[in-house]
Amino acid sequence: MSITQEGVKAALAAVVDPNTNKDFVSSKAVKNIQIDGDNVALDIELGYPAKSQAGAIRNAVVDALRGAGAGNVSVNVVTKVLSHAVQRGLKVMPNVKNIIAVASGKGGVGKSTTAVNLALALAAEGASVGLLDADIYGPSQPMMLGVSGRPVSLDNKSMEPLQGHGVQVSSIGFLIDPDEPMVWRGPMVVQALHQLLEQTNWKNLDYLVVDMPPGTGDIQLTLAQKVPVTGAVIVTTPQDIALLDARKGVKMFEKVGIPILGVVENMSTHVCSNCGHVEEIFGAGGGEKMSADFKLEFLGKLPLQLSIREQTDSGMPTVVAEPDGKVAGIYKEIARKVAIKVAEQAKDMTAKFPTIVVKND
Ligand SMILES: Nc1ncnc2c1ncn2[C@@H]1O[C@H](COP(=O)(O)OP(=O)(O)O)[C@@H](O)[C@H]1O
Ligand SMILES: [Mg+2]
Ligand SMILES: [Zn+2]
């Protein structure tokens, strides 16, 4: 018995990717089908990094094709991250496919902790990732990624990113004395950040995670208008006051035309490190309710847990300190949802149009 192209497609139209909830045919993930008698080889091309998912996806596809009468089945699961559209009037950076802003209405809610673990989780799933620490007044990524030293410049104009746990990183913290108080005014801050973004030689990034300065004032607004962002992730704690600030953050991004990829609730329940009992110190369910109110995706929630603070503040964020632990699993799931949300955004078409040259002769 031999199998046909149509038979292969019919079989795969019934296999749903549990990450996107779409079947592989309608999501156009099936590529390069090759049939030889009853043997089938094909690629499954995903729009999001999925190292931890590839095995299960391959098995599901093999099972479906065997069920449809195929003999030997060879499935190659690959990821192709595309560039997606940014705010009108801005250009996608040539070496950075997608910029993801991680923001919160106020400081201390765990924005930097979320940003670094999100970046590491995307990298762990196989993506090429950078992290830009845009918190000029309180840079924390050098400490969180355990990276120090000064970036080198090979051309006296731009600087090489430093590396921490496989992620490229740039931070004002590498350029200034951490004990020197920052007395810069708004426009200088914006200029410094623009330089950090554009003068760092990012190496072919799928995602650049930006740890935004906290708040929704002029600096944040200007950044949201100037940095070409694919989408924003909002971090909040569950209590009312933080949620109020987070709502302001959502409004700000909507105003400048940046899609919100979703909401992360941080410090949602406290797990006692002695006895493991669970306490809702900052209340419960606030992030979920806010997501529902604004019709945003709820990406996940992190417990308030001593190990998260200890690991992240000592240069070994949880995703690398305990990569197979429960908390890392939550960060990886959030990262997957973020990457899938990015993949669902409109594609960047600017690169598709040829430059028009007007000649006067
Ligand atoms: N889920 C959590 N559990 C325990 N500690 C946390 C958690 N999230 C963040 N922290 C800690 O809280 C402090 C503030 O977090 P940080 O990420 O620096 O906040 P922000 O960037 O919003 O100001 C840090 O010491 C961090 O390690
Ligand atoms: Mg911070
Ligand atoms: Zn206890």
pLDDT value of position 304: 92
Q: What percent of the chain has pLDDT over 70?
A: 95
What 3-state class would DSSP assign to 62? Answer: helix
Report CA(27)–ligand 1 centroid distance (Å): 37
Q: Among 6-15, 46-55, 185-194, 331-340, whose mean pLDDT is lowest?
A: 185-194
Residue 139: nearest ligand to its CA?
2
Q: Which atom in ligand 1 lies closest to the alpha carbon of residue 306? A: 4
Report CA(246)–ligand 2 centroid distance (Å): 15
pLDDT value of position 359: 66
Cα 313 to Cα 180: distance, rounded to the nearest angstrom = 20
Tell me what the mean pLDDT of segment 330-356 comes to.
86
pLDDT value of position 286: 84
Tokens standing for residue 171: 């931070």
Report CA(299)–ligand 3 centroid distance (Å): 28
Report CA(313)–ligand 2 centroid distance (Å): 11
Tell me what the mean pLDDT of segment 164-173 comes to.
95
Condensed to tens digits (0 to 9), the pLDDT of residues 180-212 reads: 666 667 777 888 888 999 999 999 999 999 999
What 3-state class would DSSP assign to 173? Answer: helix
Residue 304: nearest ligand to its CA?
1
Report CA(315)–ligand 2 centroid distance (Å): 14
pLDDT value of position 49: 96
Tell me what the mean pLDDT of segment 37-42 comes to.
95
Partnered with residue 75 across adjacent β-strands are 42
Report CA(305)–ligand 2 centroid distance (Å): 17
Q: Is the pLDDT of residue 357 over 70?
A: no
pLDDT value of position 356: 61
Q: Is the pLDDT of residue 161 over 90?
A: yes
Top-confidence residue, 43 or 294:
43
Tell me what the mean pLDDT of segment 18-41 comes to.
95
Condensed to tens digits (0 to 9), the pLDDT of residues 224-265 reads: 999 999 999 999 998 877 788 888 989 999 999 999 999 999
Query: In the structure, what pLDDT confidence band is assigned to residue 38 with cuts at 50, 70 and 90?
Result: very high
Ligand 1, from 113, 118, 265, 311: best to mutate by most atoms within 8 Å of Cβ? 113
Give the single-character DSSP code of 275: T
Please tell me the pTM assigned to this model.
0.93
Helix axes 240-255, 218-226, angle to 10 degrees: 40
Give the binding-site residues of ligand 1, using a 6 Å CB cut-off.
104, 107-113, 140, 214, 266-267, 302, 304-305, 308-309, 312-313
pLDDT value of position 48: 96
Q: Atom 15 of ligand 1 has which residue's CA nearest to it? A: 110
Kindly list the protein residues that place their beta carbon closer than 5 angstroms to ligand 2, a single-atom ion: 111-112, 135, 140
Helix axes 306-313, 111-124, angle to 10 degrees: 80
Tell me what the mean pLDDT of segment 28-56 comes to.
95
Q: Which atom in ligand 1 lies closest to the alpha carbon of residue 309? A: 27
Report CA(199)–ligand 1 centroid distance (Å): 29
Condensed to tens digits (0 to 9), the pLDDT of residues 96-135 reads: 999 999 999 888 899 999 999 999 999 999 999 999 999 8
- Of 294, 298, 322, the closest CA to residue 310 belongs to 322
Tell me what the mean pLDDT of segment 76-85 comes to.
95
**Helices marked H in 35-110 — which ranges?**
51-67
Angle value at C-alpha 221, between 220 and 222, nearest 5 degrees: 95
Domain ranges of the chain: 5-79, 96-344
Residue 117: nearest ligand to its CA?
1
Report CA(107)–ligand 1 centroid distance (Å): 9
Cα 46 to Cα 78: distance, rounded to the nearest angstrom = 6
Assigned CATH for 5-79: 3.30.300.130
Quick one: CATH architecture of 96-344? 3-Layer(aba) Sandwich (3.40)
Cα 294 to Cα 261: distance, rounded to the nearest angstrom = 12
Q: Among 14-28, 65-79, 208-222, 269-283, whose mean pLDDT is lowest?
A: 269-283
Ligand 1, from 269, 307, 309, 334: best to mutate by most atoms within 8 Å of Cβ? 309
Q: Atom 27 of ligand 1 has which residue's CA nearest to it? A: 309
